[in-house]
Amino acid sequence: MTEKDKFIEKAKENIEKLKQLKTEIHGTDFLRTWDHTKNDLEAVVYVAQALENMIKANISCQVFKGGLAISNFRDQSTRTRFSYSSAANLVGLANSEIDESKSQVAHGETVRETANMISFFAEFYGIRDDIFLGEGHKFQKEVSDAVADGFKQGVLNSKPPIINLQCDEDHPTQSLSDLIHIAQYFGGLENLKGKKIAMTWAFSPSYGKPLSVPQAIIALMTRFGMDVRLAHPEGYDLIPEIVDLAKKNAEENGGKFTQFNNMEDAFKDADIVYPKSWAPFVVMQERTKLLKQGNAVADQLKQLEKKCIEKNKEFIECDEEKMKLTKDGKALYMHCLPADITGVSCEHGEVSAQVFDKYRIDTYKEAGHKMYVISAMMLLTKFKDVPELLTQLIKENTPRKKAD
């Protein structure tokens, strides 16, 4: 059996699992994992894995000949930006990014109008909008409504599904990549039940990191029956509704959700740890108010950040001592990257260099699933019968790269 055949076999297994699922994802957006059924989320996982295996088997997955995948990054991005443009290219689309500074958006044009104006040839519309609490998800909904109306009114040939590339509430392309990572680590989604995952706040010299990653993790992992342990110092709360959601998810899926106020307790006997910094909730609220007022209050913003850093003298870091508390002292360390590494990228950071270096390659692999997760969201929201579509691609077996 050749290498190629092995990957094709694996892809076929992924497709078989996919066939078992009754999904409701076709025709929807992908905004938050909690907008979707568990079957839909599993479908994303299996399609992503199938695509990864098909690409490794050198099978072209370009299902489009012409069409755009548009994107709007309202915040900096490297990983997600390249994952999105890779995913677009993988399915046969050109990535076209709207730069609001170069467009008339900056001139007060309405969201509704712009959304339609750039979507005439768009198959997908990816958005990152994660800076302001209470804004990002709202904006994505607004764009979704705008293009849905455009399609209904005959302006657009189709409604491009919106893909959330991180908002103030959720970061689904990240958390689903994380899910694939741990599913592979533990030998399958079915083995995650009862596994302890510690999502814990860690110190960072930068203020204003979004809450979306920890929120995404606690909301998603509880649905797979995991024992989710959230820890953070006082003042670093997440959005209360999402914490409640995590509790509910745990109850409904035979999982567990517990909160701690320090990293050590959360780490005890953990199978997985995810130490990561995020901004204080109150600061984020205050910051959102200030940011909306623009440059005029730049000084106040700086003072706010300074006050926070002063107050937060305790450098909570994931180091080897703390890792010893985890299951057999060797929990899987995870991070969405880039991590603030003590002594490497900053004086005091989220993780010690020793711990990070041990798991560096793992975190890189974790990140590598994202382009396939996005491709999977694209296929599942757009095509009715994805198992059939993938089967057809395997049958056609068009080489992505000409034979060597």
Interaction residues for a second copy, span 28-67 (CB under 8 A): 55-56, 60-67
Q: Which stretch binds a second copy (CB under 8 A): 85-93, 178-186, 291-299, 316-324?
A: 85-93
- Binding residues among 368-387 for a second copy as defined by CB under 8 A: 368, 370-371, 383-385
The token duo for 59 is 């099978």
Residue closer to a second copy, measured from CB, 68 or 182: 68
Collect all residues with Cβ–Cβ distance below 8 Å to 77 and sequence separation of at least 6. 128, 165, 166
Which helix (H) or strand (E) element contains residue 163? strand 162-167
The token duo for 70 is 């548009």
- Binding residues among 256-315 for a second copy as defined by CB under 8 A: none
Q: Which stretch binds a second copy (CB under 8 A): 41-49, 89-97, 136-144, 160-168?
A: 89-97
For residue 175, which of 359, 44, 82, 52 has the smallest C-alpha distance? 44
C-beta of 193: minimal distance to a second copy in Å?
Answer: 27
Which amino acid type is present at position 267? Answer: F
According to the binding rule CB under 8 A, does residue 5 interact with a second copy? no
341: which strand partners? Answer: 351
Residue closer to a second copy, measured from CB, 193 or 209: 209
Residue closer to a second copy, measured from CB, 68 or 163: 68
C-beta of 266: minimal distance to a second copy in Å?
Answer: 26
Q: What is the 3-state secondary structure (H, E, C) of 349-373?
A: CCECHHHHHHHHHHHHHHHHCHHHH
Distance CA 85, CA 171 (A): 17
355: which strand partners? Answer: none
Decide if 275 contacts 356 (C-beta within 8 A): no
Please pick, from the candidates 79, 193, 256, 289, the single residue that binds a second copy as defined by CB under 8 A.
79
Which amino acid type is present at position 33? Answer: T
Residue closer to a second copy, measured from CB, 85 or 215: 85
According to the binding rule CB under 8 A, does residue 81 interact with a second copy? yes
Residue closer to a second copy, measured from CB, 258 or 345: 345
For residue 55, which of 337, 399, 404 has the smallest C-alpha distance? 399
According to the binding rule CB under 8 A, does residue 235 interact with a second copy? no
Collect all residues with Cβ–Cβ distance below 8 Å to 32 and sequence separation of at least 6. 137, 164, 167, 169, 170, 172, 219
Residue closer to a second copy, measured from CB, 45 or 63: 63
DSSP string across 168-235: SS--HHHHHHHHHHHHHHTTSGGG-TT-EEEEEE---S-----SHHHHHHHHHHGGGT-EEEEE--TT
How far separated are the first and last CA of the chain, in Å rounded?
19
Which amino acid type is present at position 390? Answer: L
Residue closer to a second copy, measured from CB, 196 or 382: 382
For residue 70, which of 385, 395, 378, 403 has the smallest C-alpha distance? 378
- Binding residues among 148-187 for a second copy as defined by CB under 8 A: 150, 153-157
Residue closer to a second copy, measured from CB, 291 or 353: 353
According to the binding rule CB under 8 A, does residue 86 interact with a second copy? yes
Which amino acid type is present at position 82? Answer: F
Residue closer to a second copy, measured from CB, 38 or 81: 81
According to the binding rule CB under 8 A, does residue 70 interact with a second copy? yes
C-beta of 243: minimal distance to a second copy in Å?
Answer: 27
According to the binding rule CB under 8 A, does residue 201 interact with a second copy? no
C-beta of 234: minimal distance to a second copy in Å?
Answer: 27
According to the binding rule CB under 8 A, does residue 2 interact with a second copy? no
Please pick, from the candidates 121, 151, 281, 315, the single residue that binds a second copy as defined by CB under 8 A.
121
- Binding residues among 316-355 for a second copy as defined by CB under 8 A: 337-338, 344-346
Count of residues of this chain found to bind a second copy when the rule CB under 8 A is applied: 76
